[in-house]
């Protein structure tokens, strides 16, 4: 049963020197993850969610180890832009080491565009969500609760197969009526963590 979910927005961290606008002080609130949480909370109000946004961290490696140890999530999700592919890989490896038995899923722009790389043998994650994730995320948690494992045929996902192959399931239709999506869960972040970070 999923009782705790950790979602990680993988960017650079505060330790990156200010040599590039992209690396140093430019980011935004993790709205994609905040929408996932608000959507899931409609059906699962008792699940506890946490967001770790690496742009707000002084030492990402130690911070993620600490939160996994203290929070003990039942499901972990990570997302990134393609520019942070290297940081994404490092994060997945840390999670695998710290929580080897916890289901690890990925979503967001990098995962949607590069799922073959992410799921190449050995796969960095157990499942990739492609495209809009609000409905897929809720259905994934439902399946996990009912079956005790991740789905292999869920619409809007890709799963690894043996021999570095992948199974691309049917695409999730675009959400036509965006008013069905609840407002993002701003209570999942601390606004003060973003002081000094330009949007």
Sheet of strand 157-160, all strands in order from the earlier edge strand to the far edge:
48-53, 4-10, 75-80, 104-107, 127-129, 157-160, 166-168
Q: What is the pLDDT along the chain (199 residues), one digit of tens a residue?
A: 999 999 999 998 766 655 555 555 678 899 999 999 999 999 999 999 999 999 999 899 999 999 999 999 999 999 999 999 999 999 999 999 999 999 999 999 999 999 999 999 899 999 999 999 999 999 999 999 999 999 999 999 999 998 889 999 999 999 999 999 999 999 999 999 988 887 7
pLDDT at 170: 98
Q: How far apart are CA 9 and CA 40, in angstroms?
A: 17
Q: Token pair of 144, please?
A: 């996990």
Please spell the DSSP secondary structure of 44-109, one letter per residue: -TT-EEEEEEGGG-S-HHHHHHHHHHHH--SEEEEEE-GGGHHHHHHHHHHHHHH-TTS-EEEEHH
pLDDT at 199: 75
Indicate the angle between helix axes 134-147 and 31-43, nearest 10 degrees: 50
CB of 117 closer than 8 Å to CB of 132: no
pLDDT at 163: 83
pLDDT at 63: 95
pLDDT at 20: 52
């Amino acid at each position: 049963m999923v009782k705790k979910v950790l979602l990680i927005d993988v960017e650079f961290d505060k330790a990156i020197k200010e040599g590039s606008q992209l690396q140093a002080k430019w980011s935004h609130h993790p709205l994609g993850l905040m929408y996932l949480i608000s959507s899931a909370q409609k059906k699962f109000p008792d699940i506890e969610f946490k967001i770790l946004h690496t742009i707000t961290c002084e030492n990402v490696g130690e911070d993620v180890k600490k939160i996994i140890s203290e929070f003990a999530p039942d499901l972990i999700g990570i997302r990134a832009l393609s520019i942070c592919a290297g940081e994404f890989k490092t994060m997945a490896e840390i999670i695998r080491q710290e929580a080897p038995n916890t289901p690890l899923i990925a979503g967001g722009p990098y995962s949607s565009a590069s799922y073959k790389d992410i799921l190449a043998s050995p796969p960095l994650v157990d499942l990739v969500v492609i495209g809009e994730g609000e409905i897929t995320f809720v259905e994934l948690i439902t399946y996990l609760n009912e079956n005790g494992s991740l789905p292999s045929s869920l619409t809007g996902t890709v799963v690894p197969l043996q021999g570095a192959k992948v199974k691309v399931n049917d695409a999730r239709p675009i959400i036509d009526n965006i008013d069905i999506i609840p407002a993002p869960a701003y209570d999942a972040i601390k606004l003060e963590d973003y002081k000094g970070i330009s949007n």
